[in-house]
Amino acid sequence: MSARLIDGKATAARVLAEVAGDVAALKARGIEPALAVVLVGSDPASQVYVRNKVLRAGEVGIRSLEYCLGAEASAAEVLEVVEGLNADASVHGILVQLPLPAHISETQVLQAIDPAKDVDGFHSENVGGLSQGRPVLTPCTPAGCMRLLRDTLGDLAGKHAVVVGRSNIVGKPMAALLLAADCSVTVLHSRSVKPQRLCGQADIVVAAVGRPRMIDADWIKPGAVVIDVGINRIEDDGRSRLVGDVDFDAVQPVASAITPVPGGVGPMTIAMLMHNTVTAARQQHAPSAQE
């Protein structure tokens, strides 16, 4: 058996086409969806992420606003920007690019974002709503993984899903979304005992660890569907390249379907950010939100 490739690029293109249609429909009602991206400091990776988000927004017709503050900006200055954006009714989504410089509390800044504009889904109001099964703005990477899983498997009810990793941005919301989709969910982390054995029972494996190629064929039940969130840069034969948390070559003959790295989960994250921005705009202009 050789697993079929789950093409994140193609799925992301479909999501973006849907979003472009939704943006056009909102514009026809006089609403121009707008996303504000706040960058603090000059971390090169963050600059690339912000540039890609702004580019993608433009492609689907979303207006984007960029706020770049120096690395020495104070927490008060960042909060002032966020509060200004909260108060601006023409801005529907606010994203603060992480990580922030060490002297600024990420929690304080993320909690300052209006939950209705929190397109990253990191505000505790949205985190709580997700765990209670309320319809909220959902973190983009796990939401992208869910879309890939639904496209691959259809109904997920009754599947045993193992999430490897329990971070606030990927592992925990991923587990909540799988539970909401009626999966039986196991979450593994650095203190798990015999993680291979537990993972080897899964119909669905989502790997979000940050360790290059940690998950090999011994972790995977034949026929499982494998979603690799990991993005790790390694030196291979003197060349720098990206690999996932899953040993793709070892796992592909065992799994039934698998995401590649790159070209799997990565493109879905930005697509779901655009989806969340349009959702936020629509909700802010819903009749009940205007009362």
* Site for ligand NDP, rule CB under 6 A: 141, 164-167, 169-171, 188-192, 195, 208-211, 229-232, 265-266, 269
Active site amino acids: 53, 97, 120
Instruction: For the CB of residue 61, give the shortest distance to ligand NDP in the complex, in Å.
Output: 23
> Do 141 and 170 contact (CB within 8 A), yes or no?
yes
Q: Compute the least distance from the CB of residue 188 to ligand NDP, in Å.
A: 5
CB closer to ligand NDP out of 121 and 266: 266
From the number of C-beta atoms within 10 Å of its C-beta (0-12, 13-18, 19+), residue 248 rates as buried
Least Å from the CB of residue 167 to ligand NDP = 3
**Please, what is the minimum distance in Å from the beta carbon of residue 288 to ligand NDP?**
33
DSSP 8-state secondary structure symbol assigned to residue 69: E
Nearer to ligand NDP, 134 or 189 (CB): 189
Tell the smallest beta-carbon distance from residue 21 to ligand NDP (Å): 24
CA distances from 202 to 113, 174, 260, 280 (A): 37, 15, 19, 34
> By the 8 A CB rule, do 67 and 81 touch?
yes
Select 129 or 142, whichever has its Cβ closest to ligand NDP.
142
Q: 50 or 265: whose CB is closer to ligand NDP? A: 265
Please state the closest distance from residue 124 (CB atom) to ligand NDP, in A.
18
Residues with Cβ within 8 Å of residue 109, at least 6 apart in sequence:
75, 78, 79, 82, 96, 100
State how far the Cα of 117 lies from the Cα of 36, in Å rounded to an integer: 10
Distance separating alpha carbons of residues 112 and 103, to the nearest angstrom: 16
CA distance 76 to 117: 20
Rank residues 75 and 231 by Cβ distance to ligand NDP and give the closer one.
231
Strand order in the sheet with 34-40: 63-69, 34-40, 93-96
Residue with tokens 């709580």: 128
Token couple for 69: 């503050």
Q: Which is nearer to ligand NDP, 82 or 207 (CB)?
A: 207
Q: Which of 1, 70, 33, 44 is nearest to 273 (CA)?
A: 33
